[in-house]
Chain A
Amino acid sequence: MKQLLKLTAASLLVVGALGVQASTLSDVQAKGHVSCGVSKGLAGFSSADSSGTWTGVDVDVCRAVAAATLGDATKVKFVPLTAKERFTALQSGEIDMLSRNTTWTITRDASLGLNFAGVNYYDGQGFMVKSSLGVTSAMELGGAAICIQAGTTTELNLADWGKANGIDYNSVVSDTNAQTLSNYDAGRCDVLTTDASGLYSMRAGANDPSEHVVLPEIISKEPLGPVVRQGDDQWFNIVRWSLNAMITAEEIGVTSATVDMVSNNPERERLMGRSGSTHEYVGLTSDWTYQIIKQVGNYSESFERNIGVNTPIGIARGVNALWSQGGILYSPPFR
């Protein structure tokens, strides 16, 4: 809360703050790093290991932007934020971009002075219960206490779902992911609800994952993606197309291992900036996409490395597969 007050007061009260802050790109290049807002710890999406290195699919979007703008994917300053702090931090200029499993909604897009630069994970809200309860469907949850994190779309979805299905429950709200999880573990509530990806991530972190079941119902659409401030279209384009470059690279079949190979596929040459002048349109050097793929990898690499079926989190691609492979992941063309 203190941080929230500080952020609001600091930037919005400063005389003429807006005038000098014309270009996020030149700011980023001048200070030599991208300030990226991430979660306080959600395994597979954004979490720091014991040596302070951040990993996750959300983290990779920040790294891709750093690789594109500074040529170095490690030049990111990660700012861990609670769900409540995240928009204020972005609005006030404390961070350059937000990549914190944030759901794209019309209210957030149109009334907060923010722009969503795309979707890096298609999610939906689910429920997790202890297997000992013997519950197999969310429809059996009448009378349960449900743990939930404050300041999320999850709170709104839950109320809508409860009303639509005539299910009466008690919501137990906490500020942070950690307290929500510890409430659930201690038994303050019977059910934990958040985006399904988050549930898998938390289940993977439990002492014995088999003690918890994720119920089959998905009660909402949660397109998660990176967010930037409104009013800087160049920066908006850079973030949007950095993400698109990762998706397109998967589509064409370029990986961090094969990126150095020269081919005669014109689409691939265009993506890698070896022909055409798209890099000039976004105001970057011609190797910006090369750096993203070389240092961060394509979408599939990032997915499989952080949350794929071979990780403890074990999420299948599902709707997050490419449109050509049965999913809905789709990047507009690089031309």
Chain B
Amino acid sequence: MKKLILDSLGKSKHRGSNFRDLLYNNEARAFFFQVITFVLVVGLFYTAIGNLFDNIEARGIQTGFSFLNNRAGFDILPFLGNIVVDYTPESSNLTVFYVGLVNTLVVAFIGIILSTLIGLLIGIARLSNNYLIAKLAGGYIELFRNIPILLQILFWYNLFINIFPHPKQSLAFFDIAFLNQRGLYLPKPIPEDGFLFVALAFVIGIIAAYFIKKFFKKKQDLTGAHTSTWPYTLGLVIGFPVIIYFLIGSPLQFDYAVLGKFNLRGGMAVVPEFLALTFALSVYTATYIAEAIRSGIEAVDKGQKEAAAAIGLSPIQSLKLIVLPQALRVAIPPTINQYLNLTKNSSLATVIGYPELMSTFGGTVLNQVGQAVEILAMAMLVYLVISLFISLLLNYVNKKMEIQGR
């Protein structure tokens, strides 16, 4: 430290008191200002929040979190959340929170998968040598990227409920699945005794397939001989459980939807609110992901492709083995942002009444209870945690994909 201080004094021959040394020390100064900033920020928040609660109390508004235990007393559009959490109007407000959370996570999860697939496809198509495909992909991006997402959600939703037929004239697929303006009705699987073995077979299949893939990879590394592993994978992951399924005697029943007086009843209904929201979010977010993929591919040196062609790789192999792995390194960071945006944009679902967090907990519960500060703070915390989790996960992937230093 002493040496540092002397260094920082530079050529100055002046040797004053220790305090003076400290005053002219860059590190000490920086530290001092950071402490002041920290104290100011914390102080400001402390005063603001204290003031907030004083004001709330003075106005006779309830505070605290005891409302979470109160009976909710209202119905929620039946979807996954209700089933997972087992919700009835008798449940508590906290249960509503969980229902909303599950529904938000479902949209975020499926939206991220779909937007990635569409984005990857469009991003690659945009660079295609085929004029029509490249232009179509470009047109898709320009169209959907430039219309506000809220408008798109409303558009798809109102389109959906207006173009599909009334439940009494549902579009039926072999009397198994039905599509009408109130949703997509699928058979609901009801597992019976012994189904556990089928699930177990599936898990074993996945593990075995992983090791087989690893084995052939090693073989290729050693001998250079390439073996396609997909027949093994298919057989183990799909074939093996199917064989077990029939050996045990089909331990799975299905509950099909049937037409009631007003609606189709039974089965598993995928509501149009979900379909419209997921579709709108995926299609919109995919445009940004496609652009990220395109920039990634364009960042890969042309020589790489030429070298791949020179050693006899097919265009597909060259894309899969040479170009994409390098392109993804560039594309992953901007894609993370899009995943976060998609998750946050899911809260726009309130306009169409999809029962996600902001429309159930941040909407109906807020209105029944009136404690905006507590409820909105909880909702904000949820989005913060989800976003941090996604970025943590993808930062890890990003680290893995980065060029290893040699």
Contacts and interface: CB of A to CB of B under 8 A. Distances in A.
A5 interface: yes
Contacts of A182: 158
Contact of B347 (A1, A83, A112, A159): A1
A175 B353 contact: yes
A257 interface: no
Contact of A188 (B74, B182, B376): B182
A171 interface: yes
Q: Which of A113, A158, A188 has the most CB of B within 10 A?
A: A188
Most chain A CB atoms below 10 A, which of B60, B74, B263: B74
B158 A143 contact: no
8 contacts: A1-B362, A113-B56, A144-B261, A145-B182, A145-B262, A160-B73, A163-B89, A186-B158
Interface residues of B, number: 50
B303 interface: no
Interface stretch (B213-221, B313-321, B365-373): B365-373
A83 B366 CA distance: 11
A88 B351 contact: no
Interface stretch (A11-19, A60-68, A317-325): A11-19
Given A151-B364, A187-B166, A179 B352 contact: yes
Nearest to A152: B367
A174 B60 contact: no
A238 B161 CA distance: 47
Contacts of B48: 13, 15
A229 interface: yes
B8 interface: no
Interface in B57-104: 58-62, 73-78, 89
B60 A170 contact: no
A173 interface: yes
Interface residues of A, number: 55
A175 B350 contact: yes
Interface string B36-69: 0000000000011001101110111110000000
Contacts of B263: 143-145, 170, 190
Contacts of A91: 59, 61, 370, 372
A173 B366 contact: no
Nearest to A188: B161
B352 A174 contact: yes
A265 interface: no
B254 to A, nearest CB: 21
A188 B161 CA distance: 6
Interface in A139-168: 141-145, 150-152, 155-156, 158-160, 162-163
A84 B55 contact: no
A112 B373 CA distance: 12
B265 A143 contact: yes
Contacts of A83: 367
A182 B260 CA distance: 24
Contact of A173 (B59, B89, B353, B376): B353
B213 to A, nearest CB: 45
Nearest to B56: A12
A172 B355 CA distance: 9
A111 B61 contact: yes
Contacts of B367: 83-84, 87, 150-152
B296 interface: no
Given A144-B262, A144-B263, A171-B75, A16 B368 contact: no
Contacts of A133: 262
B372 A187 contact: no
